[in-house]
Amino acid sequence: MPALVFIVVVLLVLTAPGTDAAGERLPYEPEMVEIPGGMFRMGCVSGRGCVDWEHPAHEVRVEAFELARYEVTFEEYDRFTEATGRAPAADEGWGRGRRPVINVSWADAVAYAKWLSAETGRRYRLPSEAEWEYAARAGTVAAYSWGSEIGRNRANCRGCGSRWDDEQTAPVGSFGPNGWALYDVHGNVWEWTRDCWNESYRGAPADGTAWERGDCSLRVMRGGSLVSDPGSLRSAYRLGYTTGGTFGIGIRLARTIGP
């Protein structure tokens, strides 16, 4: 192969759509945090405020993966809708920019992850329910990543004591992070996971992968939202919701490590 042709081919590979020659994160890519692999006990292990569908608590091994530091913002998601011609997500008049995107269906979230993967050559996806809880807990077993009580001004929910409570979303990163430097895993907006809904953990995967059997017309949401009561923000709390539902629901992307 002539030298000039070889150089051109290499440059085309290194500067494929959505990437740069250094492979650095693009402005519309989420900032990712590497989550170490490990074992944890999934479900209601705090013994406080448990509900039936958080049982039985069970051991799960999670492989290392990456999870977005923040919920996907409007400025990130709007790039997707502009590029694909999809209808933009409504912001309820609260503003866009660094606020978390809301009014996103499960299919929208999956399509966004697929588009971002194609743009960047990196493997973005929704996290499994087990990955989400493991990362939200960050090694803790209490109801919340900071302890057993909701406290004040630690999150955005109905009764969390923030200036956004039950009124509007807070810009991402408005509250302190958990032990693994993830923001807003409690409150602000619900976050879709890949898993189908099951009313208990009997038969759930023990390897951290998504449970894609059960009632797949419903998918699992995690984290609670600005209109949720504090109990719905617990690390263990899970809710099945219709895949076409959108209000108050957003996205936190995961990314697979390795080839």
| 154-205 pLDDT per residue, tens | 999 999 999 999 999 999 999 999 999 999 999 999 999 999 999 999 999 9
* pLDDT above 90 as % of the chain: 86
**Does position 57 have pLDDT exceeding 60, yes or no?**
yes
Q: How confident is the model at residue 6 (pLDDT cuts 50, 70, 90)?
A: very low
3-state secondary structure the chain: CCHHHHHHHHHHHHCCCCCCCCCCCCCCCCCEEEECCEEEEECCCCCCCCCHHHCCCEEEEECCEEEECCCCEHHHHHHHHHHHCCCCCCCCCCCCCCCECCCCCHHHHHHHHHHHHHHHCCCEECCCHHHHHHHHHCCCCCCECCECCCCCCCCECCCCCCCCCCCCCCCCCCCCCCCCCCCCCCECCEEEEEEEECCCCCCCCCCCCCCCCCEEEEEEEECCCCCCCHHHHCCCCEEEEECCCCCCEECCCEECCCC
**Structure confidence at residue 23 (pLDDT):** 60
Radius of gyration from C-alpha coordinates of the chain: 19
Q: Pairing relation of β-strands 249-250 and 190-197?
A: parallel
**Structure confidence at residue 259 (pLDDT):** 66
Give the angle 88-243-198 at the CA atoms, nearest 5°: 150
User: Cα torsion for 189, 194, 199, 200, to the nearest 10°?
Assistant: -110
pTM: 0.91
Here the tokens at position 113 are 């992850």
**Does position 20 have pLDDT exceeding 80, yes or no?**
no
What is the Cα–Cα distance from 232 to 230, expressed in whole angstroms?
A: 5
Average pLDDT of the residues in 202-222: 98
Q: What is the mean pLDDT of the chain?
A: 92
Phi/psi of residue 66, each to 5°? -115, 145
Nearest CA-CA partner of 180 in 87, 68, 54: 68
**Distance from chain centroid for Cα 245:** 16
**Structure confidence at residue 22 (pLDDT):** 41
Instruction: Write the CB contacts of 254 (distance below 8 Å, at least 6 apart in sequence).
Output: 65, 66, 67, 68, 124, 125, 126, 127, 128, 131
Check whether the bond before 17 is cis (ω within 30° of 0).
no
| Residue pLDDT, tens place only, 83-119 | 999 999 999 999 999 999 999 999 999 999 999 999 9
Q: Regarding predicted confidence, which is higher, 26 or 36?
A: 36
**Does position 19 have pLDDT exceeding 60, yes or no?**
no
- Domains, the chain, in order of start with CATH, read 29-255 (3.90.1580.10)
